[in-house]
Every structure is written in C-alpha cells, then in structure tokens.
A = this chain, B = another copy of it.
Amino acid sequence: MSIAHPYLLFLGDAPDQLAAKVADGIARWRPDWCLGQLRLPGCKADVGLPDTTLDEAVARGARTLVIGVANRGGRIADTWTETMVRALELGLDIASGLHNKVADIAVVRDKAETLGRQIFDVRHPNRTFDIGTGARRPGKRLLTVGTDCSIGKMFTALALEAEMRRRGMKADFRATGQTGILISGDGVSIDAVVSDFVSGAVEWLTPAADPDHWDVVEGQASLLHPSYAGVTLGLVHGSQPDALVMCHEPARPHMRGLPGRPVPDLRTCIAVHEQAARVTNPEARVVGISLNTAALDEAAALELIARTGRELGLPCADPVRTGVGPIVDALR
C-alpha cells in the first residue's frame, strides 16, 4: 500500500492514553515521520508531539493524516468526519487503523474520490493473495512469536530492526498488524485475510531477497492460543523463518481473554513453534527470548533475564530495559 509520510497523527477525542496507543507506537518508532499531533477538545491523550493544526501540517509538508486512535463503540464521531474531509481538501491522504472503515463513511469516501486522494484502511487487506507454496526462497527471515497475544511481538521486531540497522545489517520490519503497518507504511493485516490465503499473504509480504538481508516479521498471537492459533501457524509457515524470537511476559496471570487458562511455559512454546516452523524451514530455531519485565523492579528483572537465558541456553533480553543486542549477536 505504501502510505506516504510525513504524518499528522490524529488523536481525536481519545478518552485516555490507551485509546491512542496506535499513535503512541508510531510516535515512538517513527518520530522522524511525524510532524505533530492533532487533538480535538476533550482529548485526554498526548503522544508527546507538538499540537499541530491541519493547515500548519500541510504547510510543513505533511502527506497523510493518520487516525491513530481507537474510537468509542465503533462509531466515528461527526467531528472526526469534519477533520477528515478538511484534510482531504488540503491535499492529505488518510490512513486509519480503525476496525470500521473510513472508506465506508460516504462523505469522506466521496470527497477522496473527487479529489483523487487515497484512504488506507490498514486493518482491511486491499488486495488478494495467492495460495502459499512453502517453496524456499533466498534471503533470511526472523519471526517474533510468543507465549500469548499482546506480549511484545511488534515491539521486539521493531527493536531488532533498529539494532540490526544500527550495526549495518540489511533488515526490514515486515508489518502484520494495523499499528505495525502505520509504523512501516506498508504490510498486511494478517488476521483479516481469508484463512486459505494466510501463508500465501505472508510469502508475498516476505519475498525473495539478498542472501544477507533479514526480513524481521511481526508475529501475531501464539500457536497455543485457542482463539487465534491458525493465524499464527499461517505466519510461521509463510515466513519460513531461519530465526524465531520468543516473547514472554512473566507476570501474566492467564492467557489474554481467557481467564483460567494459564500462559504456557517457555520451554513448551519453544518446542511447539520450532516444530511448526520446520515444516517450511528445516533449519528454523528459536535464537533468543524477549521478556517484558515492566512489572518487576530493576534487580528482580535483571535476575530473571539472566536466569531465563541460563536455563534455556539462549540469549535473553528485555527490549525496553536492556535492548536486544544479545539476541542480534546470536544472528551473526
């Protein structure tokens, strides 16, 4: 899809910071792409960018208004519509991570068509895909996987891309969810693809490349999560990963959305994901552990990171607390 930047991040009337987490992610990982934030009266979120009007943003070269906020109850308020129409009139495209399509709002869609602007509803794939084949292709691929949903797979992949690039390695983050797509300007919202085509979509997303090039693929869900494991398996087979990085949050009381179902242990998760990955890449192996230790104090966190790495015989890191250097070391 290739969403043009610079972005103006629209936070709407977000009731709290969490509602703006998509914008938060973009501001964190692509600060150079963001000219500012646009907030409506009553907005309780702040992603740390200068408040910028549509006119100011356009004057400074903005290309896309990014709807980086979850709306309440699925409804898009009239005040948002006004802003979107005005953005189109001023020459901007619109990109949205909302579940509801911006392109379904007639007044916005019609305005975009009249003016020749683009609307990117990134949760909704805008193309079809072939069936996957599992055929090997050149280039290296790393996939982040996890013991659960929402456990740091996107964050870890972005941290790995940043560290690999810092070291001069050829690395490209490949987005599979809406926030990742807005962060990278491209990608496929893989859980919205028709099930028959998931591995094919991932093969398309991570094509043949130079032998020393790494696609760093954003994982989704977990092979052991009963709601979404099929999505994960399509990702694992389609990306034919050389390397897997297992993400885990030690303090989580149960799997996301499933009270009473404990998070599986790391060793089991590693075995299950490696076994599945070897269907399309016999060399696939977990090369590191990414722990989210936000719930622990510094001493306890560092002790847990060290102990986990020692017990599993793998480099272990917290992307926020320690950086992912030890995991990248293992790739070389």
Point out residues on A near B: beta carbons under 8 Å: 131-134, 190-196, 198-200, 223-224, 226-234, 237-238, 257-258, 261, 272, 275-276, 279-280
Contacts and interface: CB of A to CB of B under 8 A. Distances in A.
A57 to B, nearest CB: 34
Given A191-B194, A192-B194, A134 B199 contact: no
Given A191-B194, A230-B231, 15 more contacts: A131-B228, A132-B227, A132-B228, A133-B258, A134-B261, A193-B194, A194-B194, A195-B234, A196-B231, A198-B230, A199-B226, A200-B227, A226-B238, A229-B276, A272-B275
A149 B199 CA distance: 16
Contact of A229 (B133, B194, B228, B234): B234
Contacts of A227: 131-134, 199-200
Copies of this chain, count: 2
Nearest to A228: B196
Contact of A237 (B192, B199, B229, B234): B229
Contacts of A261: 134
Contacts of A238: 226
A147 B152 CA distance: 34
A106 B191 CA distance: 31
Of the candidates A131, A194, A261, A272, the one having the most CB atoms from chain B within 10 angstroms of its own CB is: A194
Given A134-B226, A227-B133, A233-B230, A195 B199 contact: no
Contacts of A133: 226-227, 257-258
B195 A229 contact: no
A272 B277 CA distance: 13
Contact of A191 (B195, B231, B233, B272): B195
A87 B219 CA distance: 49
